[in-house]
Structure 1
């Protein structure tokens, strides 16, 4: 550990209220704290309590600053993150997040040593605050470089050159290399449900305009083309932070480990690379009809599997049981495990019996899978960047996307079963499996991620030095 630096920075870290954001922000905070900098991690009480415990040697350098989330009409009481909400109610969470401005200003005024804020895509009002208090802004986008490049230049984001959902279904001209990165129509329509009166594009653009550095969760070894485009269109420092593989930070989730021994015993009894793992993230909420169609496809594949089924958001009157077709569990009991709630995803993916991952295409999940060399059965459901991640992984030939109707997102269980078999066992999936295995040298490399984080740390030190 390196606490011998001459110029200790005091840095506030301010992620959006989603687990896929707060954990990468914590990982960056841990690295900076390890290098001797003082971190003030700002979030709401419930999100702070959900975070994994810090290693003892970092606790003196990281303070958690809880801000009470204001109540707004439409936001159910007690809700503090996107995982507790259906997509239609996320705009109310954004409204509440925007109201954190007053408390954040109070904290910053009481901590004049803070001269740097590492922030997320949401607080479009932060530049005004930073100017008043003479604070530098560093925008950390937890999204891939390709997703950031797809958003375009400031004039594309703030000028609203793309107005209709259809405008987002073609590869933009500025992504001037052969690629397939664009949304499907149903993905754009779905994403519009979580937009506030201040659009995500406006938030993102305003913050890029005013930040000193745009840091992205990527690396040149994986996305050289997109990083080149980002540098070209923004004309400001674009800094890849590396992929932040979980192995860099040790075991983060000890909760639920009491179930691991039984699960490991089951996996140990299976042949190498014979099992596929299914998990749709902490926030995806498919309709019962589509979940049942997916389930029938999983069954029809006739391959061993582990499927993690989470409860829908707290405010919905459904449970995990509604998502599982009646009788399915009994029919597949010889070869399939259906787990409710939480599972240790990284341990499951890393097991030698697991040969593939049917994923919702969250960037963190994709990184976990490729970090241990497992190919992807791509099933982007939900909003945000998931569709773009699926196209990127298909383009990189490490995954295969389950075919869906472009307009309404419907699919058949036959297509699900066929995609699973192609990735897991068919001859035509052999190249995907080989490519994914090779990718772990990049995605799972602790040394590579450390190198990027170290360069980022040096840039921050020079920015305020």
Structure 2
């Protein structure tokens, strides 16, 4: 950092989901390495899940963790502090508990010398708190620019024309370029299960955008130029790409013993022949659909690694037959079923892996395309995963598995056919080549650091201009 520039104190406050916590952590580390002081604020369990800080930050006193105890809310299971610990129907209680952090967070900010707050979509009350305390705020969206453009301007989010689930299944009229990105009915209906009835996710996002000084996006114009151009016009405030924040192996948790199991198995397979299957930490399919997915993998005839979450199908009940009887025996040698945490980035990086059957979470897509892995897209029917699936399908770096638009059901035949088309067929060669070419953008560390540098410069210059007024 330029020694002539003032060192800022920046508070960071993400939503309580690992897909949010980790990108916020990456931005926080970059700002600290530029010489700014960081207060990374979350609950104790979420802070414990983060990777260790680099040695230079550990010794610098520039990065501190601020732990706020999550208030108890009736309906929220004890000790649950993140979305990954909850069925989707319980997430509204987590949002209510998150909102109750307003008082302790305000107390912390009042007694600190913070200049800026980098906040998430969910903390709609925080920009006005920051303003009252004389702090600048920037909303950091872990969603890409296409999702944010689909969401629309603040007034639309806060109560515009889209009132029914069906209203979200069409491309909005403010999208002024060719697009197929909209929700399927089952996706938007499912997502409503995780919304707080008092303040919807759309209202949270709209109020946050309206009241913050600037809007930062985890993406870059090299990948979605039309969406960035439109977003600046829709929001009427600075829209700042921070790059794709591709993870590195140093950023991820390590378990060498587990990795050795995967490595030995993958070493025995042909190059780019294996499908990696993982539906994220929060997606729960019904037992029927888990069976369809299993039979689809079996019918494909291709080698695969399937990471299966051993979580309750409904509260208090484990799915004893979540995997069909006899399935693991039938696919033995060709398929590896893993019911535990898996080192996803290391698996995707192995030369034997060619494709990724994913729930279409933006973080997972970034990991896969950073390594050139073609996508088989099974939207997770929560958050923006359906929108991401449409976008990747239209970019021709993957193929969506056909699903019933009303209830989200799919068949083993559609799973097997999609896998075969993407991984083997001549038709899929274009998809495979396009995904491989995406490495030039998705793992271009210099490009993404350029955007992080520009974001840092914006915060520094805005602080100076604000104080000169």
Q: Distance between the aligned counterparts of 2:295 and 2:154, measured in 1?
A: 44
Matches within 5 A, 1:213-252: 213-247=214-248, 250-252=249-251
State how far apart, in whole Å, the 2-side matches of 1:352 and 1:296 are.
26
**Cα contact 1:280–1:360 (8 A) shared by 2:** yes
Kindly indicate whether the alpha-carbon contact (under 8 Å) linking 2:188 and 2:381 is maintained by their aligned counterparts in 1: no
Q: Report if aligned partners of 1:139, 1:213 keep a CA contact under 8 Å in 2.
A: yes
Gaps of 5+ in 2: 465-469
Shift, 1:358, TM fit? 0.1
Task: Tell me the CA shift for residue 319 of structure 1.
Answer: 4.2
The within-5 A match list for 1:238-387 is 238-247=239-248, 250-312=249-311, 316-319=315-318, 322-387=321-386
Matched position secondary structure for 2:356: strand
CA apart distance, 1:320: 6.9
Counterpart-to-counterpart distance in 1, 2:8 and 2:72: 33
Q: What pairs up with 1:172-187 in 2 under 5 angstroms?
A: 172-187=172-187
Cα distance in 2 for partners of 1:3, 1:38 equals 14
Q: Deviations over 1:275-301 (max 9, x none)?
A: 000000011111111111111111110
Name the structure 2 match of 1:140.
140
Deviation at 1:322, TM superposition (A): 3.5
Where 1:323 maps in the other structure, the secondary structure is coil
**Cα drift, residue 176 of structure 1:** 1.0
Aligned pair 1:54/2:53, yes or no? yes
Task: State whether residues 219 and 242 of structure 1, in contact with CA within 8 Å, keep that contact through their aligned partners in structure 2.
Answer: yes
Matched-pair contact (CA < 8 Å) for 1:309–1:320: no
Q: For the structure 1 residues 221 and 146, does the alpha-carbon distance in structure 2 shift closer, same or farther, using more than 3 Å as the test?
A: same
Give CA-to-partner distance per residue, 1:74-122, whole Å, 9 cap, x none.
10111000001010110000000000011101111111x1010000001
For residue 146 of structure 2, give the secondary structure of its aligned residue in structure 1: helix
| 1:30 matched residue in structure 2 | 29
CA shift, 1:63, in A, is 0.4
Task: Note the alpha carbon deviations across 1:38-67, whole angstroms, 9 max, x for none.
Answer: 000000001000111111111221100000
Asked if the contact 1:76/1:315 (under 8 Å) is kept, the reply is no
Q: Is contact 2:287-2:313 (8 Å) kept?
A: no
* CA 1:3–1:86: 2 relative to 1, 3 Å: farther
User: What is the CA deviation profile of residues 395-451 of structure 1, one whole-angstrom value per residue up to 9, with x for unaligned ones?
Assistant: 100010000000011110000000001110011100000000000110111111111
- Does the aligned pair in 2 maintain the 1:41–1:63 contact within 8 Å? yes
Shift of 1:313: 5.8
Partner of 1:396: 395
Does 2:79 match 1:87? no
CA contact (8 A) 1:306 1:337 kept: yes
Contact 1:358–1:377 (CA under 8 A) maintained in structure 2: yes
Superimposed CA distance per residue, residues 121-149 of structure 1 (whole angstroms, 9 cap, x where no aligned partner)? 01111123112211111000000100000
Q: Cα deviations across residues 208-227 of structure 1 (Å, max 9, x unaligned)?
A: 11111100001010010110
| Cα displacement (A) at 1:325 | 1.2
Q: CA deviation at 1:341?
A: 1.4
2:117 aligned partner: 117
**Aligned position for 1:207:** 208
Contact 1:83/1:313 (8 A) holds in 2:
no
Q: Please report how far the alpha carbon of residue 263 of structure 1 lies from its aligned counterpart in structure 2 after TM superposition.
A: 1.3
User: Is 2:453 aligned against 1:454?
Assistant: yes
CA distance in 2, matches of 1:188, 1:43: 28
- Contact kept in structure 2, 1:84 and 1:313, CA below 8 Å: no
Partners of 1:446 and 1:193 lie apart in 2 by 37
Q: Is the 8 A contact 1:308 1:338 kept in 2?
A: yes
Measured against aligned partners, the alpha-carbon deviations of 1:333-365 in whole angstroms (never above 9, x if no partner) come to 121101111111111111111010000000000
Distance 2:341 2:33 in 1: 30
Shift of 1:5: 5.5
Residues 314 and 51 (structure 1), Cα distance of their counterparts in 2 relative to 1, 3 Å cut = farther
Q: Counterpart in 1 of 2:467?
A: none
Aligned mates of 1:68, 1:17 — CA distance in 2: 12
Q: How does 1:407-422 map to 2 (within 5 A)?
A: 407-422=406-421
**Higher mean displacement: 153-162 or 18-27:** 153-162
Aligned residues: 461
Question: Can you give the 5+ residue segments of structure 1 that lack an aligned partner in the other structure?
Answer: none
* Partners of 1:129 and 1:396 in 2: CA distance: 40
SS of equivalent residue, structure 1 residue 427 = coil
Q: Return the alpha-carbon distance in structure 2 between the equivalents of residues 321 and 373 of structure 1.
A: 36
Is the Cα–Cα contact under 8 Å of residues 121 and 208 in structure 2 kept in the other structure?
yes
Decide whether aligned partners of structure 1 residues 281 and 84 sit closer, same or farther in structure 2, where only a CA change above 3 A counts. same
Q: 1:382 Cα deviation (Å)? A: 3.1
In 2, the alpha carbon distance for the partners of 1:443 and 1:5 equals 34
Aligned to 1:150: 150
